[in-house]
A and B are shown apart, each in its own frame.
Chain A
Amino acid sequence: MKKKKNFRITNRNLLIAMTVICIGLIALTATNIISITPLKNAAAAIVLPLQKGVTEASSFVSDAGRNLQSKDELLAKIDELEAENEKLKEQNIIDNENLQELKRLRELYKTDTEYSQYEKIGASVISKNAGNWYSTFIIDKGSNDGISVDMNVIASGGLVGLVTEVGPDWATVKSIIDDSSSVSAMTITTEDTCIVNGDLRLIDSGKLEFDQMNTEDSILPGEMIVTSHISDKYLPGICIGTITDITEDSNHLTKTGYILPAVDFSNIREVLVIKQLKQNPESEQQTAE
């Protein structure tokens, strides 16, 4: 490998040239001078079918594993579910009464735009971030199905995240537990706003952190947090989770705490994408997405 002053490329020179190329790529894409979307779509055409195949095969195998659960376990599960069913029946009666009241109040306030009325599309999760630092994933629907950037993604009644990139038959979703995610949110009863942040350090508890809650009301753990009206990208009223801890900051003005999300992020397979974008003319006022 000894070469002196000839025109063959040495490894060292190759390394230098590639370093310059990489730094150039970082600079040019970070400033949006060049777009890598064509490259992405080309790569997706090769890689996504493979990921889809492995994901389907592995979920098939893990489902098959669940079928092998013992009879005792299943009977115990049935008992548990029956007990839960009784509770839910009772809850249902109460909820129905509340629903009537809600309808009446909504008519009063003329706020009938609940997110359940928006058009949604189901999608399967193909693959998750290859690293351990960020929480993003790819779904199997894209612009061909009417999905576009900044659409909200939900699952089992709670907010999952936001579409950040779209290809013809794929889309990337950044989940709200992602360390760089922040959502403008509010309490459901008092409508006190706060900012909900993803924090990688909370990976064990699976919780979210919130801060900047400027309130004089006494907010208690158990209070539900939903997306706020002033949010830039998130539609209002989508459930995020419930408060588990809340403390007053040292400035005695704002409150900080933790939220248990409504969605179990460790095991997301199917999601719903809301095909309605938030339209907000005064978006520049917001600090969070």
Chain B
Amino acid sequence: MRRRIVTFVMILICFVLQSTLLNLLSFGGIKPNLLLILTVSMGLMRGKHTGLWVGFISGLIIDIFFGNLFGFNALLYMYIGYINGNFYKVFYDDGIKIPMFLVAVSDLAYGMIYYLIQFAFRERFDFSAYFTRIILPELVYTVLFTLILYKLFYIINKKLTANELEENDSPWLLK
């Protein structure tokens, strides 16, 4: 329960920062995608189930406030979380390279699908312009932010896991 509340608060904080403070830190009108970093990190650190839910809730919040197709971001982020959850048992060290790589690939996939559904469908076919001006800068900026955020998420996750282990040893459970 505690984990769920903490995770939800993390989603909320990432969303609020992304829609407010990061506008001031945006570079050429491009800001990093914190919710994507969170979704990828949670998938990697907690597995498919958590990745799926974190992605779904993150996308849903975006859809509620800024979506033009309600459920679209929820679906996209959910798959990002689920797919990254597949690497849960493959990589389990505290290195930063794997998360950065996964964030890069996920953001690339996110950008491509977003372009395809939201822009190509409206006959905006100039893919190279959107790729070099929107998708690529967002990818670079998001990967840079992963350097800071993944460490933070990693520490929070460690604390929560330690807490849970402690609770499992509780005398109340030993009947």
Chain A positions within 8 Å of B, measured between CB atoms, are 11, 14-15, 18-19, 21-26, 29-30, 36, 39-40, 43-44, 46-47, 50-51, 54-55, 58, 62, 126-134, 136, 138, 172, 179-180, 200-201, 203-204, 266
* Contact present for A26 and B62 (CB under 8 Å): no
B108 within 8 A of A: no
Chain A residues whose C-beta falls within 8 Å of the C-beta of B35 in the assembled complex: 130
Across the interface, do B75 and A58 meet the contact criterion of CB distance under 8 Å? no
Supplied contacts A30-B69, A134-B68, A203-B29, 4 more A-B pairs, CB within 8 Å: A14-B52, A51-B20, A58-B20, A204-B29
Interface residues in B52-105 (C-beta closer than 8 Å to A): 52, 56, 61-62, 64-66, 68-72, 74-75, 78-79, 82, 85
B118 located at the interface, meaning its Cβ lies under 8 Å from any Cβ of chain A in the complex: yes
Known contacts being A25-B74, A47-B61, is A201 close to B126, with CB within 8 Å? yes
Q: Chain B: how many interface residues by the 8 Å CB criterion? A: 47
**Are A22 and B75 within 8 A (Cβ)?**
yes
* B165 close to A (CB within 8 Å): no
| Given known contacts A11-B82, A50-B16, A132 and B138 CB-to-CB distance under 8 angstroms | yes
B19 touches A128 (CB 8 A): yes
Q: Inside 8 A of A26's CB, which chain B residues have their CB?
A: 69-72, 75
Check B70–A25 contact: CB distance below 8 A.
yes
A204 proximity list for chain B (CB < 8 A): 28-29, 133
Given the complex, which residues of A lie within 8 Å of B79, measured CB to CB?
A: 15
Q: Which residues of the partner chain B approach A19 to less than 8 Å between Cβ atoms?
A: 75, 78
Q: In whole angstroms, how far apart are the Cα atoms of A39 and B65 in the complex?
A: 10
Across the interface, B18 reaches (CB within 8 A) one of A44, A130, A133, namely A130
Q: Which residues on B are within 8 Å of A, measured CB to CB?
A: 12, 15-21, 23-24, 28-31, 33, 35, 48-49, 52, 56, 61-62, 64-66, 68-72, 74-75, 78-79, 82, 85, 114, 118-119, 122, 124, 126, 129-130, 133-134, 138
Inter-chain CA distance A30–B117, complex, in Å, is 14
Q: Are B71 and A25 in contact (CB under 8 A)?
A: yes
Q: A18-B56, A130-B18, A132-B31 are in contact. Are A201 and B129 (CB under 8 A)?
A: yes
Residue among A25, A58, A131 making CB contact with B66, cutoff 8 Å: A131
Q: Name the B residues within 8 Å of A47 (CB-CB).
A: 12, 15-16, 61, 65
B15 touches A18 (CB 8 A): no
Q: How far is the CA of A180 from the CA of B121 in the complex (A)?
A: 12
How far, in angstroms, from A132 to B130 measured CA to CA in the complex? 11
> Which chain A residues lie closer than 8 Å to B18 at the CB level?
130
* A136 CA to B66 CA, complexed, in Å: 7
Number of A-B contacts (CB under 8 A): 129
- Tell me what chain A mostly uses at the interface: helix, strand, loop, or mixed: helix
Are B28 and A203 in contact, CB atoms less than 8 angstroms apart?
yes
Of the candidates A11, A58, A132, A180, the one whose C-beta lies within 8 Å of that of B122 is A180
A50 to B61 Cα, complex, angstroms: 14
B126 to chain A, nearest CB (A): 6
Residue of B nearest to A136 (CB): B66
Q: In the complex, which residue of chain A has the Cβ closest to the Cβ of B124? A: A179
| Closest CB in chain A relative to B173 CB, distance in Å | 22
A131's contact among B16, B17, B62, B82, by CB below 8 Å, is which? Answer: B62
Residue of B56, B61, B68, B78 touching A43 (CB-CB under 8 A): B61
Q: Would A266 and B124 count as touching, CB distance under 8 A?
A: no
Query: With contacts A43-B61, A47-B12 known, is A266 near B114, CB below 8 A?
Result: no
Can you list 17 pairs linking A and B with CB atoms under 8 Å apart?
Answer: A14-B49, A14-B52, A15-B79, A18-B56, A26-B71, A30-B69, A47-B16, A47-B65, A51-B16, A55-B20, A129-B66, A132-B29, A133-B114, A133-B118, A138-B65, A203-B29, A204-B28
